[in-house]
Protein backbone atom coordinates (compact mmCIF):
# COMPACT_ATOMS: atom_id res chain seq x y z
CA UNK A 1 0.00 0.00 0.00
CA UNK A 2 1.36 3.40 -1.01
CA UNK A 3 0.61 6.58 0.89
CA UNK A 4 0.34 9.94 -0.85
CA UNK A 5 0.43 13.12 1.22
CA UNK A 6 -0.43 16.68 0.25
CA UNK A 7 -1.46 19.87 1.98
CA UNK A 8 -4.90 19.60 0.40
CA UNK A 9 -6.48 18.90 -2.98
CA UNK A 10 -3.53 19.50 -5.27
CA UNK A 11 -1.76 16.20 -4.67
CA UNK A 12 -4.72 14.46 -6.27
CA UNK A 13 -3.25 15.55 -9.62
CA UNK A 14 -0.17 13.49 -8.71
CA UNK A 15 -2.28 10.60 -7.44
CA UNK A 16 -4.18 10.64 -10.74
CA UNK A 17 -0.94 9.96 -12.62
CA UNK A 18 0.28 7.41 -10.08
CA UNK A 19 -2.89 5.37 -10.45
CA UNK A 20 -2.67 5.57 -14.24
CA UNK A 21 0.88 4.17 -14.22
CA UNK A 22 0.31 1.74 -11.31
CA UNK A 23 -3.35 0.71 -11.69
CA UNK A 24 -3.02 -2.46 -9.59
CA UNK A 25 -1.49 -0.76 -6.57
CA UNK A 26 -3.47 0.26 -3.51
CA UNK A 27 -3.23 3.88 -2.36
CA UNK A 28 -4.12 5.90 0.72
CA UNK A 29 -4.33 9.65 0.09
CA UNK A 30 -4.13 12.19 2.91
CA UNK A 31 -5.02 15.80 2.15
CA UNK A 32 -4.35 18.17 5.07
CA UNK A 33 -7.03 20.54 3.80
CA UNK A 34 -8.10 21.67 7.27
CA UNK A 35 -4.69 23.30 7.76
CA UNK A 36 -4.00 24.45 4.20
CA UNK A 37 -2.51 26.46 2.63
CA UNK A 38 1.05 25.51 3.54
CA UNK A 39 2.79 28.06 1.34
CA UNK A 40 3.02 30.80 3.97
CA UNK A 41 3.75 28.56 6.98
CA UNK A 42 6.93 28.82 9.05
CA UNK A 43 9.40 25.94 8.99
CA UNK A 44 8.62 24.55 12.45
CA UNK A 45 4.90 24.36 11.68
CA UNK A 46 5.56 22.68 8.34
CA UNK A 47 7.76 20.05 10.01
CA UNK A 48 5.09 19.37 12.65
CA UNK A 49 2.35 18.97 10.04
CA UNK A 50 4.57 16.82 7.80
CA UNK A 51 5.45 14.49 10.69
CA UNK A 52 1.82 14.10 11.74
CA UNK A 53 0.62 13.35 8.22
CA UNK A 54 3.44 10.92 7.48
CA UNK A 55 2.86 9.08 10.75
CA UNK A 56 -0.86 8.86 10.00
CA UNK A 57 -0.12 7.16 6.69
CA UNK A 58 2.28 4.75 8.38
CA UNK A 59 -0.49 3.89 10.85
CA UNK A 60 -2.81 3.27 7.89
CA UNK A 61 -0.45 0.49 6.80
CA UNK A 62 1.70 2.35 4.25
CA UNK A 63 5.39 1.47 4.24
CA UNK A 64 6.06 3.85 1.34
CA UNK A 65 4.91 7.49 1.40
CA UNK A 66 5.09 9.87 -1.56
CA UNK A 67 5.11 13.53 -0.52
CA UNK A 68 3.16 15.08 -3.39
CA UNK A 69 3.17 18.56 -1.87
CA UNK A 70 5.91 20.67 -3.45
CA UNK A 71 6.22 22.89 -0.38
CA UNK A 72 6.82 19.92 1.93
CA UNK A 73 9.12 18.24 -0.59
CA UNK A 74 11.19 21.42 -0.79
CA UNK A 75 11.33 22.12 2.94
CA UNK A 76 10.78 18.92 4.93
CA UNK A 77 11.59 15.88 2.78
CA UNK A 78 15.13 15.37 4.09
CA UNK A 79 13.85 15.69 7.64
CA UNK A 80 11.15 13.06 7.03
CA UNK A 81 13.63 10.71 5.38
CA UNK A 82 16.13 11.07 8.23
CA UNK A 83 13.48 10.65 10.92
CA UNK A 84 11.55 7.73 9.44
CA UNK A 85 13.54 6.12 6.64
CA UNK A 86 17.12 5.92 7.83
CA UNK A 87 19.45 2.91 7.49
CA UNK A 88 17.72 -0.30 8.50
CA UNK A 89 14.24 1.20 8.32
CA UNK A 90 11.46 -0.73 6.60
CA UNK A 91 9.84 2.53 5.54
CA UNK A 92 10.59 4.99 2.75
CA UNK A 93 9.57 8.59 2.06
CA UNK A 94 9.92 9.96 -1.48
CA UNK A 95 9.29 13.44 -2.89
CA UNK A 96 8.52 15.17 -6.18
CA UNK A 97 11.31 17.72 -6.56
CA UNK A 98 14.02 15.52 -8.07
CA UNK A 99 11.80 13.97 -10.81
CA UNK A 100 10.52 17.48 -11.59
CA UNK A 101 14.05 18.87 -11.87
CA UNK A 102 15.14 15.96 -14.08
CA UNK A 103 12.19 16.49 -16.40
CA UNK A 104 12.80 20.24 -16.61
CA UNK A 105 16.49 19.82 -17.49
CA UNK A 106 15.68 17.20 -20.13
CA UNK A 107 13.08 19.51 -21.70
CA UNK A 108 14.87 22.86 -21.45
CA UNK A 109 17.24 24.47 -23.93
CA UNK A 110 18.88 26.48 -21.16
CA UNK A 111 16.47 28.72 -19.21
CA UNK A 112 13.97 27.21 -16.77
CA UNK A 113 11.26 29.19 -15.02
CA UNK A 114 9.86 27.85 -11.74
CA UNK A 115 6.48 28.94 -10.41
CA UNK A 116 5.43 27.89 -6.90
CA UNK A 117 4.31 28.95 -3.45
CA UNK A 118 6.29 31.55 -1.54
CA UNK A 119 7.76 28.86 0.73
CA UNK A 120 8.73 26.62 -2.20
CA UNK A 121 10.51 29.45 -3.97
CA UNK A 122 12.22 30.70 -0.79
CA UNK A 123 13.65 27.23 -0.11
CA UNK A 124 15.69 27.32 -3.33
CA UNK A 125 15.30 23.53 -3.61
CA UNK A 126 14.27 23.44 -7.26
CA UNK A 127 17.17 25.66 -8.25
CA UNK A 128 19.60 23.51 -6.27
CA UNK A 129 18.37 20.26 -7.84
CA UNK A 130 18.38 21.72 -11.36
CA UNK A 131 21.93 23.03 -10.99
CA UNK A 132 23.09 19.55 -9.95
CA UNK A 133 21.97 18.30 -13.35
CA UNK A 134 23.15 20.99 -15.74
CA UNK A 135 24.29 24.59 -16.26
CA UNK A 136 20.77 25.87 -16.80
CA UNK A 137 19.69 29.36 -15.91
CA UNK A 138 16.86 29.25 -13.35
CA UNK A 139 14.36 32.04 -12.67
CA UNK A 140 11.88 31.50 -9.84
CA UNK A 141 8.63 33.31 -9.14
CA UNK A 142 6.25 32.98 -6.20
CA UNK A 143 2.57 32.92 -7.22
CA UNK A 144 0.59 32.79 -3.96
CA UNK A 145 -2.80 33.69 -5.47
CA UNK A 146 -3.00 30.83 -7.97
CA UNK A 147 -3.66 27.89 -5.62
CA UNK A 148 -6.56 29.67 -3.84
CA UNK A 149 -8.10 30.51 -7.23
CA UNK A 150 -8.04 26.84 -8.18
CA UNK A 151 -9.46 25.78 -4.82
CA UNK A 152 -12.37 28.17 -5.44
CA UNK A 153 -12.97 26.47 -8.80
CA UNK A 154 -12.10 29.63 -10.74
CA UNK A 155 -9.42 28.12 -12.99
CA UNK A 156 -11.46 28.76 -16.16
CA UNK A 157 -12.32 32.38 -15.35
CA UNK A 158 -10.90 35.63 -16.60
CA UNK A 159 -9.57 36.32 -13.10
CA UNK A 160 -7.36 33.23 -13.33
CA UNK A 161 -6.19 34.17 -16.83
CA UNK A 162 -5.23 37.66 -15.67
CA UNK A 163 -3.46 36.35 -12.55
CA UNK A 164 -1.39 33.85 -14.55
CA UNK A 165 -0.42 36.51 -17.09
CA UNK A 166 0.60 38.89 -14.29
CA UNK A 167 2.81 36.31 -12.60
CA UNK A 168 4.51 35.47 -15.90
CA UNK A 169 5.52 39.06 -16.57
CA UNK A 170 9.30 39.20 -16.86
CA UNK A 171 9.56 35.48 -17.67
CA UNK A 172 9.21 35.92 -21.42
CA UNK A 173 12.63 34.43 -22.18
CA UNK A 174 12.27 31.14 -20.27
CA UNK A 175 11.92 28.17 -22.60
CA UNK A 176 10.51 25.75 -20.00
CA UNK A 177 8.06 26.64 -17.22
CA UNK A 178 8.07 24.20 -14.33
CA UNK A 179 4.78 24.16 -12.43
CA UNK A 180 6.04 23.85 -8.86
CA UNK A 181 2.64 23.49 -7.20
CA UNK A 182 0.19 20.61 -7.59
CA UNK A 183 -2.73 23.01 -8.12
CA UNK A 184 -1.26 24.59 -11.22
CA UNK A 185 -2.01 21.79 -13.74
CA UNK A 186 -5.67 22.81 -13.54
CA UNK A 187 -4.56 26.18 -14.93
CA UNK A 188 -2.91 24.58 -17.97
CA UNK A 189 -5.05 26.48 -20.48
CA UNK A 190 -4.25 29.81 -18.84
CA UNK A 191 -0.52 29.04 -18.82
CA UNK A 192 -0.46 27.90 -22.43
CA UNK A 193 -2.24 31.07 -23.47
CA UNK A 194 0.16 33.31 -21.56
CA UNK A 195 3.59 31.91 -22.48
CA UNK A 196 5.48 30.49 -25.43
CA UNK A 197 7.52 28.31 -23.08
CA UNK A 198 6.93 24.59 -22.73
CA UNK A 199 4.69 24.14 -19.69
CA UNK A 200 5.83 21.24 -17.51
CA UNK A 201 3.46 19.40 -15.18
CA UNK A 202 5.83 17.13 -13.19
CA UNK A 203 3.15 14.63 -12.11
CA UNK A 204 3.55 12.17 -15.04
CA UNK A 205 7.30 12.11 -14.50
CA UNK A 206 6.86 11.54 -10.77
CA UNK A 207 4.65 8.55 -11.59
CA UNK A 208 7.14 7.10 -14.07
CA UNK A 209 10.01 7.51 -11.62
CA UNK A 210 8.02 5.78 -8.88
CA UNK A 211 7.33 2.82 -11.14
CA UNK A 212 11.06 2.59 -11.90
CA UNK A 213 11.90 2.93 -8.19
CA UNK A 214 9.57 0.04 -7.32
CA UNK A 215 11.33 -2.15 -9.88
CA UNK A 216 14.62 -1.42 -8.11
CA UNK A 217 13.06 -1.90 -4.67
CA UNK A 218 10.65 -4.84 -5.03
CA UNK A 219 10.49 -5.24 -1.24
CA UNK A 220 8.30 -2.11 -1.21
CA UNK A 221 6.12 -3.24 -4.11
CA UNK A 222 3.03 -5.40 -3.91
CA UNK A 223 0.19 -5.73 -6.37
CA UNK A 224 -3.21 -5.00 -4.91
CA UNK A 225 -6.70 -4.45 -6.27
CA UNK A 226 -6.47 -0.80 -7.28
CA UNK A 227 -8.13 0.23 -4.01
CA UNK A 228 -8.16 3.88 -2.96
CA UNK A 229 -8.85 5.31 0.48
CA UNK A 230 -8.96 9.05 1.09
CA UNK A 231 -8.45 10.97 4.34
CA UNK A 232 -8.66 14.71 4.92
CA UNK A 233 -8.38 17.05 7.89
CA UNK A 234 -11.04 19.41 6.56
CA UNK A 235 -14.70 18.85 5.71
CA UNK A 236 -14.96 15.46 3.92
CA UNK A 237 -18.01 16.52 1.89
CA UNK A 238 -16.23 19.61 0.58
CA UNK A 239 -13.10 17.58 -0.10
CA UNK A 240 -15.04 15.01 -2.12
CA UNK A 241 -16.84 17.71 -4.10
CA UNK A 242 -13.75 19.69 -5.06
CA UNK A 243 -11.41 16.71 -5.18
CA UNK A 244 -13.02 15.18 -8.25
CA UNK A 245 -11.77 18.12 -10.35
CA UNK A 246 -8.21 17.25 -9.36
CA UNK A 247 -8.47 13.47 -9.52
CA UNK A 248 -10.57 13.44 -12.67
CA UNK A 249 -13.12 11.05 -11.19
CA UNK A 250 -15.38 10.67 -8.18
CA UNK A 251 -13.62 10.10 -4.87
CA UNK A 252 -14.52 7.20 -2.58
CA UNK A 253 -15.98 8.05 0.80
CA UNK A 254 -13.62 10.52 2.46
CA UNK A 255 -12.69 9.87 6.10
CA UNK A 256 -12.02 12.72 8.50
CA UNK A 257 -8.88 13.06 10.63
CA UNK A 258 -8.01 15.83 13.06
CA UNK A 259 -5.15 16.74 15.36
CA UNK A 260 -5.45 15.52 18.93
CA UNK A 261 -2.47 15.60 21.25
CA UNK A 262 -0.04 16.26 18.43
CA UNK A 263 -1.27 13.36 16.27
CA UNK A 264 -3.83 13.03 13.49
CA UNK A 265 -6.65 10.79 14.69
CA UNK A 266 -9.78 9.52 12.98
CA UNK A 267 -13.03 11.31 13.89
CA UNK A 268 -16.53 10.16 13.11
CA UNK A 269 -17.90 13.67 12.81
CA UNK A 270 -16.53 17.02 11.72
CA UNK A 271 -16.72 19.57 14.53
CA UNK A 272 -17.78 22.93 13.17
CA UNK A 273 -17.42 25.67 15.78
CA UNK A 274 -19.21 28.99 15.36
CA UNK A 275 -18.63 32.06 17.48
CA UNK A 276 -16.22 32.39 20.37
CA UNK A 277 -14.75 29.39 22.14
CA UNK A 278 -13.41 28.88 25.67
CA UNK A 279 -11.17 25.96 26.58
User: Catalytic amino acids?
Assistant: 69, 181
How far apart are alpha carbons 203 and 182 in whole angstroms? 8
Nearest to 167 by CA among 138, 193, 143, 197: 143
Strand partners, 232: 31, 256
Look at residues 118, 178, 126, 103 and name the one whose alpha carbon lies nearest to residue 148: 118
- Quickly list DSSP for the chain: -EEEEESSSTTHHHHHHHHHH-TTS-EEEEE-GGG---TT--HHHHHHHHHHHHHHHHHTT-SEEEE--HHHHHHTHHHHHHHHS-TT-S-EEE-SHHHHHHHHHHH-SSEEEEEE-HHHHHHTHHHHHHHHH---EEEEEE-TTHHHHHHTT-TTSHHHHHHHHHHTTT-TT-SEEEEESTTGGGGHHHHHHH-SSEEE--HHHHHHHHHHHHHH-GGG-------EEEEESS-HHHHHHHHHHHHSS---PEEEEEEETTEEEEESS-----S----
Rounded Cα gap, residues 59 and 50, in angstroms: 14
Residues 6 or more apart whose CB falls under 8 angstroms from that of 268 comprise 256
Amino acid sequence: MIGVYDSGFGGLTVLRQLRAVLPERDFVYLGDSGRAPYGGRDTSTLLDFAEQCTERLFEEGCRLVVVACNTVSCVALRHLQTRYAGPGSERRVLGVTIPAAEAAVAMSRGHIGVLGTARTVASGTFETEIRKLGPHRVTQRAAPLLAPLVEEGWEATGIATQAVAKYLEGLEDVDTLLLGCTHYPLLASAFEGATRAKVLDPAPYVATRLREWLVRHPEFDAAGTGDLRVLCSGDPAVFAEHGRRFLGTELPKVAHVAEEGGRLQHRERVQVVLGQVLR
